[in-house]
Amino acid sequence: MTLDFSVVGSYSQLLFTGLLWTILITALAGSISVLLGIVIATTTLYGSSVASLPVRGIIFLFMGTPLLLQLYLLYYGLSQVGVMLPAFWTGVIGLGLHYAAYNADIFRASLQAVDPGQTEAARSLGFGRGATRRYFIVPQAILTALPQVGNNSIILLKDTAVLSVLGISELVLDAQRAISETYRPFEFYFTAALLYYVVNLAMEFLLSIAGRKAEEIR
Amino acid sequence: MTQQAPMIELRQIRKSYGSHEVLKGIDLSVARGKIVSIIGPSGSGKSTLLRSINMLEETSSGEIWLDGQQVNRPLKGRAFENHINHIRQEMGMVFQQFNLFPHLTVLQNIMIGPMRLKGLTKAAALDRANALLAKVGLADKGHAYPARLSGGQKQRVAIARALAMQPKVMLFDEATSALDPELVEEVNQVMKQLAAEHMTMLIVTHEMRFAAEVSDHALFMDGGVVVEQGDPRQVLSNPIEERTRAFLRKHLSN
């Protein structure tokens, strides 16, 4: 059997829809992972031990177990005890939580790396503890964390493929649908791989722009 | 009565790190519009003393007064936070390492205090910032980020940032010690200009000549005590105490 990429053309709409879902899932889960990552990092650093200990335990769990297992637990495990989340949102939340744990670690290191002189300068002007963090420490930490958090977002993009096991429409599942009708796995998986790569390049380009901005203030 | 009260008054300030006492009962009074310089070897406690005035360092005992208000009031928790945040707005501080906010432009560095803490509108804060930048000779640098500035320029921006809060006093913690020698003068010029405008200033410095020239009163500190104080020209060129003489000899030979 020879390769024939012309079959891909008639499924372009399906693949394109899958690609859009992949991008949407990446954007939603990525946002959750960044925002929650910041919340977790500030809670574990600045919060009382009552708040920070359980949070640290949860991080340990999310970083120490496979993403796939976490998704199964969220989807099948929770439905068993009566919590029914739509598959799409299970996937988005699961991915978001998983990467929030990794991002939290990065944000925590970045927060700790901000020069203590910054706190002294802000406090000496009359800024309180909370305002000092909000206006000076957290923004600087976010800029420091940007390259690593960006890399995590690229890994997250690739991990959206895992959601296909929950029957969530995205690029891989839609490629599989096309394959089940055409029996052409190479053509469709290869095309899907190319599409991931293109989105990847676009993300890296955006990151490099943001990185250059961050470099300017160093 | 308040008019007669000193702008800064320290009474029997003590501070210990564990069993090591770094300030051993310092008294100091700075009258309104006066300039006092503190010199002394590193480890003498002079920076610690300066930093305890706005409570960046906590003291073990003693009283700190600013213009008739006690700085280290015996308050707890939230009440103390509110008090100290408020009274710090009346004391400008300039650091050896500048400590400009790197993620903000020069103008934003100067405007953020007045806008967030004093409720100035953006337009009013911008006017004030531009006027201060012109005063420190950096009117054209408003939109630059601190990373683009030389050390001398950074320190002048830091002074402008402190002045934007319209403080009653300015505290300088070795403001020129981190600068290349050729950049020291531009910062000294700004400080002299403030002196001419009768800003009350407390200056911790290594620069004897500048201290003698600009200040009304000088203290020599060593080992957590004030060894000698008086007219700066006398303390810095013809001191009475042997410890001061030894320090000056060593300092001048370097």
Residues B116-164 pLDDT 10s:
999 999 999 999 999 999 999 999 999 999 999 999 999 999 999 999 9
- pLDDT for B3 equals 55
A→B contacts (Cβ < 8 Å), by residue, are 115, 117-118, 120-129, 131, 135-136, 139-140, 143, 216-218
Judge whether B100 and B154 are in contact, CB under 8 Å: yes
Residue A208: partners with Cβ closer than 8 Å, 6 or more residues away = none
Residues on chain B touching A120 (C-beta within 8 angstroms): 56, 95, 99
* A91 part of a folded domain: yes
CA–CA distance, A75 with B89 (Å, rounded to integer): 54
Q: Is B79 on the interface with A (CB under 8 A)?
A: no
Q: Would A3 be classed as within a structural domain?
A: no
Which residues, at least 6 apart from B211, have a Cβ–Cβ distance to it below 8 Å? Answer: B37, B39, B203, B205, B218, B232, B236
The half-sphere exposure of B27 on its side-chain side, counting CA atoms within 13 A, is 3
The pLDDT score that the predictor gives to residue A58 is 86
| Domain harbouring A86, CATH code | 1.10.3720.10
**Nearest CB to A128: which of B85, B95, B113?**
B85
Instruction: Name residues of chain A where pLDDT drops below 70.
Output: 1
| Chain A residues whose beta carbon lies within 8 Å of the beta carbon of residue B158 | 121
Look up residue B156 and give its two tokens. 């002048």
Q: Is residue A182 part of a domain?
A: yes
Could you please report the per-residue DSSP string of A168-193? --SHHHHHHHHHHHH--HHHHHHHHH
Q: Are B208 and B188 in contact (CB under 8 A)?
A: no
Distance CA B196, CA B59 (A): 32
Residues of chain A found within 8 Å of residue B56, distances taken between Cβ atoms: 120, 123-124
Q: Tell me whether residues A124 and B103 touch, CB distance under 8 A.
A: no
Kindly state whether residue A2 falls inside one of the protein's structural domains. no
Tokens of B40: 């002394």
How many whole angstroms separate alpha carbon A137 and alpha carbon A99? Answer: 22
Residue B217 has phi, psi (to 5 degrees) of -155, 145
How many helical (H) and strand (E) elements, i.e. helices and strands, does chain A have?
11, 0
Report DSSP state, residue B7.
S
In angstroms, the CA A218 to CA A202 distance is 25
Token duo for residue B25: 């009962």
Nearest chain A residue to B96 by CA distance is: A117
Q: Is B112 on the interface with A (CB under 8 A)?
A: yes
Under 8 Å between Cβ of A17 and A117:
no
Residue A210 lies in a domain: yes
**DSSP code, position B197:** T
Q: What is the pLDDT of residue B1?
A: 46
- Taking CB atoms and an 8 Å cutoff, what residues of chain B touch A217? 102-103, 145-147
Distance in angstroms between the alpha carbons of the first and the last residue of chain B: 46
Q: Is residue A124 part of a domain?
A: yes
| Subunit contact A217:B146, Cβ cutoff 8 A | yes
Structural domains in chain B plus CATH codes? 31-55+91-253 (3.40.50.300)
Q: Which of A124, A132, A216, A217 to mutate to test the interface with B (most CBs of B within 10 A)?
A: A124
Relative orientation angle of helices A138-159 and A12-46, to the nearest 10 degrees: 140
Cα separation of A181 and A109, whole Å? 49
- Domain with A117 in it: 10-216
Please give the Cα distance from A56 to B156 (Å, whole number).
Answer: 43
Neighbours of A64 (CB within 10 A): 8
Q: Which residue of B95, B145, B162 is in closest CB contact with A216?
A: B145
**A105 belongs to a structural domain:** yes
Q: From the CB of residue A35, how many other CB atoms can be counted at a distance below 10 Å?
A: 13
Binary contact (B56, A143; C-beta < 8 A): no
Contact predicate B117/A125, CB 8 Å = yes
Write out chain B residues lying below 8 Å of A143, CB-based: 103
Q: How many domains does chain A have?
A: 1
Q: With an 8 Å Cβ cutoff, are A124 and B54 in contact?
A: yes
- Pairwise CA distance, residues B7 & B199, whole Å: 11
Query: Is B99's Cβ below 8 Å from some Cβ in A?
Result: yes
Q: Which two tokens stand for residue B228?
A: 């000698």
**Cα–Cα dist A154/A94, whole Å:** 16
Task: Please give the sequence-ordered ranges of beta strands (E in DSSP) within B79-224, or none if there are none.
Answer: 91-94, 169-173, 200-204, 217-222
Neighbouring residues of A215: CB distance < 8 A, sequence distance ≥ 6 = none
In chain B, residues with a C-beta closer than 8 Å to the C-beta of A212 are none
Q: Are B39 and B219 in contact (CB under 8 A)?
A: yes
Please, are residues A94 and A88 in contact by the beta-carbon 8 Å criterion?
no
CA dihedral angle for residue A80, residue A81, residue A86, residue A88, rounded to 10 degrees: -80
- Rounded to whole angstroms, the Cα distance separating B182 from B178 reads 12
Q: Say whether A123 and B113 touch across the interface (CB within 8 A).
A: no
Can you give the pLDDT of all 254 residues of chain B as single tens digits?
A: 445 689 999 999 999 998 999 999 999 999 999 999 999 998 899 999 999 999 999 999 999 999 999 999 999 999 999 999 999 999 999 999 999 999 999 999 999 999 999 999 999 999 999 999 999 999 999 999 999 999 999 999 999 999 999 999 999 999 999 999 999 999 999 999 999 999 999 999 999 999 999 999 999 999 999 999 999 999 998 999 999 999 998 887 65
